[in-house]
Amino acid sequence: MYEGLPGHKRGLLFFVAVCVVFMQAGLWAGRRETRNNFPDNSLVKTSSLLALVKSDSQPSIKEHPIPKLMAEAENSFRERLARQSKTLSEAVAEYKRRYGRNPPRGFDRWWQFAKDNNVLMVDEYDAVVEDLSPFWDVDSAELRERASAAGHLPAIDLVRVKGGKATAENIRDGPRSEVSARARGFKQMIEKFQDQLPDIDFPINAMAEGRILVPWEYRKYPNLTDIQLSDLLSGVFTPDWRGEGNVWEAFRRTCEPHSSARRLFSSFRASSTSTNRTSQLTTRNHEFVFARQTHGNYSFCHNPWAHYNQGHFFSDWRTIPMLFPIFSPAKASGYQDIRIPSHYYYAQTRRYTYGWDPVNLELKPVDHMETPWEDKSDLIFWRGASTGGGSSPPGFAAQYQRHRFVRMASDESSTNRTIVFADPPSSTNFISAQVPIRDLNEEIMDVAFVKVVDSFNYPGGVGALMRDHRFDDGGVNLGDHWKHKYLVDMDGMGYSGRFFSFLESDSAVMKATVYKEFFEGWIQPWLHYIPLSASYQEIFNIHAFFSGATPSTLKAANSTALSLPPSKRHPIDGDRRLRRIARAGKQWKRTMGRRVDMEAYIYRLILEYARLCSDDREAMSFTL
């Protein structure tokens, strides 16, 4: 096609053609990034339903996916609970079947503790084995050295057991320095079992964020590690990034070489923030797609564009690129921290404990501000500070999880949302309507920030932050949440410390998180709480299923239900189902989320860890 052209022109045309190809590839990648803002293989496959919902003819939908999700969740949990071991010999056999080795020494005492305290989940400790698995490849003497040395790292305290007695110490900052609440909480959790432990150190993460991100190369080939323990402890390792990298760059290195995150030419693009900010309020990919679980196992390695929307990738605190046995309350996918129960869950405080009487300093079975179900509002309620991430690199705060949610819930635009609802109410005939988001937010959302945090990190400063989001100057107490049927629980700088208190209330919890916690194998989404995707797009249709169509939705569909009194527009079955989730969550908290259940988890964990730290690991095993 270039015949007859001078050589230099042919070369120029070839260069232009190559540029066009790369531009097209770049545009395609950009379209892909926007379209797959929150891809998730845990979402319910409802493509056929979506096709019906989006059609102009508005045909009816005979089966809503939420009842099926609830039924599957209940059956799965019942089966899991029923198959728990009934005797010590059964527990030992199940342990060997799952993990291919004998349990740790002291397993019989742990079993007796579990039985004496009516611990129901006696086999579900996969999280313990998963977290400790990497340390089987570390020599026991080396592991003990790393545990002791970890106390010299920033924001790491040591809980040290010597002679059967535990103490909490801040080694790095000196003997008179304050010890973190997390270390004090861990020390309290192990007090019943400390006399059964050898002399041992437990490094406790004082921060909410995960800390251990070991590059894939160093996990696969430990001898390649160019990081020396002495370097980390000599001051070369600073507590914050100081512009020298960031969490996402550290996280990318944990991914396999063939993953999308490792193949990125640049991990931060100038246009990404603005593009995602605008698309957040208009994307409609997941309005009628429901998550089976939260994002705890989400792969950011294969979906790197999604990292812009999670604040933990922008933490100020430097992660640790070496395998230390750091005990943390939660961790996101890719981290190698060892999970322990949160001190917020274990302690009893006014801010985090349901039923706590701060005057008489006692725990009551019913919180004094609890509201009867019939008197609770149908509003979706959330209050919190404008936190959610750090400032490394700066400029991405608009996409942190809390900011996105508040901005979506306070959107006053005319952007339509597709709402599916039963018409007539309480029937199995579901239709759809296009409803302006401003009307939906006014009718069902009560979401706001109550405290300005890190406004300097928000593009445009505090003025833009206040302009883009709803703020409630009145503040809120924990008990104020019980006035509402729907409570949203989401990550802040780290995991949410209010989850257990929300569960114990008589309200239904809607939870969105990227973190995995110790109770992961003990709790069941869609039975004990409602999982939300990271986009939150389905929240309007969740509300429509349980509480019925709003007046603006009925008006948009020209529904005959508009002639009914407001009390007759709510689906009776939907409200019963929502209350069932609220009651199941409360029952779970009072039977499997107790302080003694957390102690059982910690007891099992420290027995496993003590075996790993022993010079003769085989001798530290238990056999019948």
What is the mean pLDDT, run by run of 10 residues, along the chain of 624 residues?
47 44 35 37 47 49 90 98 98 98 98 98 98 96 95 94 96 85 97 96 95 92 71 76 90 94 67 38 69 89 92 93 96 96 95 92 94 97 93 91 96 95 89 96 97 88 93 90 98 94 98 96 98 96 96 94 83 94 98 98 98 96 95
What is the structure's pLDDT at 242?
Answer: 84
Q: Is 426 helix (H, G, I), strand (E, B) or coil?
A: coil
CB 88 within 8 A of CB 111: yes
Distances (CA, A) of 274 to 89, 303, 361: 59, 19, 49
The amino acid occupying position 554 is L
What is the structure's pLDDT at 62?
Answer: 73
Torsion sign (Cα): 44, 542, 300, 323: negative
What is the structure's pLDDT at 25?
Answer: 36
CB 232 within 8 A of CB 179: no
Name the DSSP class of 492.
S
Name the DSSP class of 3.
T
The DSSP bridge partners found for residue 263 are none
What is the structure's pLDDT at 1?
Answer: 46
The torsion of the CA quartet 519, 521, 527, 533, rounded to 10 degrees, works out to 80
What is the structure's pLDDT at 272?
Answer: 40
Residue of 109, 65, 10 lying closest to 530 (CA atoms): 65
The torsion of the CA quartet 116, 117, 123, 129, rounded to 10 degrees, works out to -110
Q: In b/e form, how buried is each residue of 365-387, taking b as 16+ CB within 10 angstroms?
A: eebeebbeeeebebbbbbbbebb
Residue 468 CB partners (closer than 8 Å, separation 6+): 398, 403, 407
Instruction: Output Rg (C-alpha) for the chain, integer angstroms.
Output: 26
What is the structure's pLDDT at 560?
Answer: 87
H-state helical runs in 469-621:
499-504, 539-547, 551-557, 572-591, 595-612
The DSSP bridge partners found for residue 217 are none
Residue of 4, 25, 3, 23 lying closest to 15 (CA atoms): 23
What is the structure's pLDDT at 282?
Answer: 39
What are the structure tokens assigned to 104, written together?
């740790």
Distances (CA, A) of 611 to 107, 340, 511, 608: 11, 17, 36, 5
What are the structure tokens assigned to 582, written together?
């609220």
What is the structure's pLDDT at 225?
Answer: 65
Half-sphere exposure of 45 (CA within 13 A, CB side): 1
What is the structure's pLDDT at 38?
Answer: 46
H-state helical runs in 42-180:
47-54, 65-82, 88-99, 107-116, 126-132, 140-149
Q: How far apart are CA 444 and CA 540, in angstroms?
A: 8
- Note the maximum CA span of the chain: 95
The amino acid occupying position 118 is N
What are the structure tokens assigned to 169, written together?
């110490």
Q: In b/e form, how buried is each residue of 244-260, taking b as 16+ CB within 10 angstroms?
A: eebbbbbbbbbbeeebe
**Burial of 26 per CB tally in 10 Å (0-12, 13-18, 19+):** exposed
Angle at 574 between CA 573 and CA 575, to 5 degrees: 95
Residue of 498, 554, 507, 557 lying closest to 529 (CA atoms): 507
Phi and psi of 111, rounded to 5°? -60, -45
Torsion sign (Cα): 10, 13, 19, 20: negative
Residue 306 CB partners (closer than 8 Å, separation 6+): 36, 37, 38, 39, 298, 300, 534
DSSP letters spanning 159-196: EEEETTEEEEE-TTT-TTSPPPHHHHHHHHHTTTTGGG
Residue of 526, 575, 580 lying closest to 548 (CA atoms): 575
Q: How far apart are CA 437 and CA 47, in angstroms?
A: 23
CB 281 within 8 A of CB 440: no
Q: How far apart are CA 12 and CA 509, in angstroms?
A: 62
CB 614 within 8 A of CB 135: no
Residue of 356, 350, 319 lying closest to 334 (CA atoms): 319
CB 286 within 8 A of CB 215: no
Cis previous bond, 59, omega within 30 = no
Cis previous bond, 304, omega within 30 = no
Q: How far apart are CA 267 and CA 261, in angstroms?
A: 8
What is the structure's pLDDT at 227?
Answer: 66
Q: Is 156 helix (H, G, I), strand (E, B) or coil?
A: strand
CB 85 within 8 A of CB 600: no
Q: How far apart are CA 554 and CA 549, in angstroms?
A: 6
Angle at 583 between CA 403 and CA 408, to 5 degrees: 15
Residue of 358, 367, 383, 379 lying closest to 506 (CA atoms): 367
What is the structure's pLDDT at 328?
Answer: 98
